[in-house]
């Protein structure tokens, strides 16, 4: 019998948070409704679900089945099997190539090379769907992101850029599904994992979500982490009125705006560290086995050798993306964007190229199952991996590496629980 079956519904909800697995995506509240689960910031500043009077075991059975904190699902088998290639690490794909937005302004203001922005504009201009669900910078607090809907390319571009802060990207998904209008979705890989899980229970998901797009993700910065790094860079976190994490170049400067109307720009590497060593991550992001967008039709990544920009390159790089086309739907969309000039292809890439550009994701993919075993051994909920070659990836590790990853995850799980 699972531990969850021995606990109350409230206990089961609290365990997700206590085990460090809640990502603040908002899906649980969106599908259960506010009478069962409300959604707000907790005492640490993080967006979290809170129990309502209608919370019961049936609601928590649903949550335990779809929560992306411990349910990661890739493409449905039919879509994965139809892909032309299936790499052990990078998964099913039709094509890998380097590209950038054809519009110079979009390429400049976007987080990397503007590929996702260009694809979103292409989708809207095609008229196949009337809206794109994605995220933009939040007004309050300004270092967060928030779910938004764009119906024009202009609205898409206005929301361009990375959001490294907490973002409840799925907070409105219930209303979108109830609305019955087809849409495209651009969200983090874990958000797409969650919707692939929900699709087993709600057929509206596959009927209404016509395009699934994702950035390749290294994790987000919790509220406390942002406040630490803002203070380290000489800013009063409570005086910050606007944050641009990157963009206006690749990756471009990190811009902090203040209540008096002034703004300060910092070199990206001074803020995040030469190897992202100063970037604070939630526990769940550290053990993520799908930062590469396995559930997406198209995923777009940074493409710096070694996984990070050089100090000089960060000032001069005009920006381009490593684009992973996973499905036939994604392939048709990319071809249309290339034909219209919305997207410009530079050259093809190989899976080895991606591994060189994203070495940290290679390690996360290989160690995913071992880390889940370690977390379970320490008494925690742990990520369950569906349609992700988990056993084959685990087998590719040496026995010594598997043991080290499992032991390390168990140790870190115990440490974070005190």
Instruction: Please tell me the distance from the alpha carbon of residue 26 to that of residue 24, in angstroms, as a whole number.
Output: 6
pLDDT for residue 244 is more than 50: yes
Tell me the residue length of the chain.
Answer: 418
Tell the residue number behind the tokens 């050089």, with chain if given: 310
Instruction: Please tell me the distance from the alpha carbon of residue 171 to that of residue 240, in angstroms, as a whole number.
Output: 25
- Quick one: which of 229, 216, 165 has its CA closest to 188? 216
Higher pLDDT, 6 or 259: 259
- Quick one: which of 394, 387, 392 has its CA closest to 370? 394
The bridge status of strand 209-215 relative to strand 183-186 is: parallel
The chain-wide mean pLDDT, for the chain, equals 95
pLDDT at residue number 276:
60
Distance, first Cα to last Cα, the chain: 26
Structure tokens at 33: 């409704």
Taking residues 261-287, report their average pLDDT: 85
Instruction: Please tell me the distance from the alpha carbon of residue 208 to that of residue 409, in angstroms, as a whole number.
Output: 38
Burial call 5-24: b when 16+ CB within 10 Å, e when fewer: eeeebeebbebbbebbbbbb
Instruction: Please tell me the distance from the alpha carbon of residue 230 to that of residue 57, in angstroms, as a whole number.
Output: 41
Torsion of CA 381, 383, 384, 386, to 10 degrees: 160
Q: Assess contact for 71 and 21: CB atoms under 8 A.
A: no
Taking residues 302-316, report their average pLDDT: 86
Secondary structure of residue 57 in the 3-state scheme: helix
The pLDDT tens digits for 363-382 are 999 999 999 999 999 999 99
Instruction: Please tell me the distance from the alpha carbon of residue 361 to that of residue 357, in angstroms, as a whole number.
Output: 9
Q: Assess contact for 23 and 284: CB atoms under 8 A.
A: yes
Instruction: Please tell me the distance from the alpha carbon of residue 11 to that of residue 73, in angstroms, as a whole number.
Output: 25
Instruction: Please tell me the distance from the alpha carbon of residue 294 to that of residue 289, in angstroms, as a whole number.
Output: 10
The pLDDT tens digits for 168-177 are 999 999 999 9
Q: Assess contact for 107 and 100: CB atoms under 8 A.
A: yes
pLDDT for residue 148 is more than 80: yes
pLDDT for residue 340 is more than 90: yes
HSE-up (13 A, CA, CB side) for residue 295: 30
pLDDT for residue 400 is more than 80: yes
pLDDT at residue number 4:
43
Torsion of CA 288, 294, 298, 301, to 10 degrees: 30
- Quick one: which of 359, 369, 409 has its CA closest to 389? 369
Instruction: Please tell me the distance from the alpha carbon of residue 140 to that of residue 137, in angstroms, as a whole number.
Output: 9
Tell the residue number behind the tokens 């361009």, with chain if given: 160
How big is the chain by its Cα radius of gyration, in Å?
Answer: 20
Instruction: Please tell me the distance from the alpha carbon of residue 163 to that of residue 386, in angstroms, as a whole number.
Output: 27
Structure tokens at 350: 């190989």
Higher pLDDT, 275 or 84: 84
Measured in whole angstroms, how far is the alpha carbon of residue 296 from the centre of its chain?
11
Taking residues 54-74, report their average pLDDT: 98
- Quick one: which of 344, 364, 350 has its CA closest to 216? 364
């Amino acid at each position: 019998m699972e531990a969850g079956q021995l606990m109350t519904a409230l206990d089961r909800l609290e365990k997700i948070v206590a085990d460090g697995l809640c990502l603040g995506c908002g899906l649980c509240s969106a599908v259960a409704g506010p009478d069962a689960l409300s959604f707000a910031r907790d005492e640490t500043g993080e967006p979290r679900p809170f129990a309502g009077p209608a919370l019961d075991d049936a609601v928590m059975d649903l949550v335990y089945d779809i929560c992306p904190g411990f349910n990661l699902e890739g493409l449905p088998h039919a879509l994965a099997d139809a892909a032309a290639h299936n790499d052990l690490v990078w998964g099913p794909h039709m094509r890998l190539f380097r590209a950038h937005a054809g519009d110079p302004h979009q390429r400049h203001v976007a987080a990397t090379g503007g590929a996702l922005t260009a694809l979103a504009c292409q989708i809207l201009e095609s008229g196949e769907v009337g809206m794109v669900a994605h995220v933009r910078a939040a007004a309050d607090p300004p270092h967060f992101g928030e779910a938004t809907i764009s119906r024009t390319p202009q609205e898409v571009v206005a929301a361009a850029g990375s959001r490294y802060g907490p973002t409840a990207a799925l907070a409105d998904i219930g209303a979108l599904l109830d609305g019955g209008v087809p849409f495209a979705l651009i969200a983090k890989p874990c958000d797409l994992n969650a919707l692939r899980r929900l699709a087993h229970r709600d057929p509206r998901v596959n009927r209404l979500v016509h395009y699934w797009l994702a950035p390749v993700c290294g994790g987000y910065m919790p509220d406390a982490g942002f406040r630490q790094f803002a203070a380290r860079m000489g800013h009063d976190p409570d005086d910050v009125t606007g944050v641009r994490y990157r963009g206006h170049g690749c990756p471009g400067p990190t811009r902090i705006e203040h209540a008096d109307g002034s703004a300060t720009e910092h070199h990206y590497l001074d803020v995040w560290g030469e190897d992202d060593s100063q970037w604070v991550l939630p526990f769940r992001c550290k053990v993520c086995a799908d930062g590469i967008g396995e559930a997406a039709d198209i995923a777009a990544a940074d493409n710096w050798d070694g996984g990070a920009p050089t100090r000089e390159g960060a000032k001069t790089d005009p920006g381009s993306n490593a684009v992973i086309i996973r499905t036939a739907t994604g392939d048709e969309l990319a071809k249309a964007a290339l034909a219209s000039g919305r997207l410009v292809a530079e050259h093809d890439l190989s899976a080895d190229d991606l591994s060189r550009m994203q070495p940290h994701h290679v390690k996360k993919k290989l160690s995913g199952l071992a880390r889940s075993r370690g977390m379970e051994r320490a008494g925690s909920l742990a990520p369950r991996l569906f349609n992700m070659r988990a056993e084959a990836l685990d087998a590719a590790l040496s026995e010594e590496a598997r043991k080290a990853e499992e032991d390390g995850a168990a140790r870190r799980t115990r440490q974070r629980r005190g």
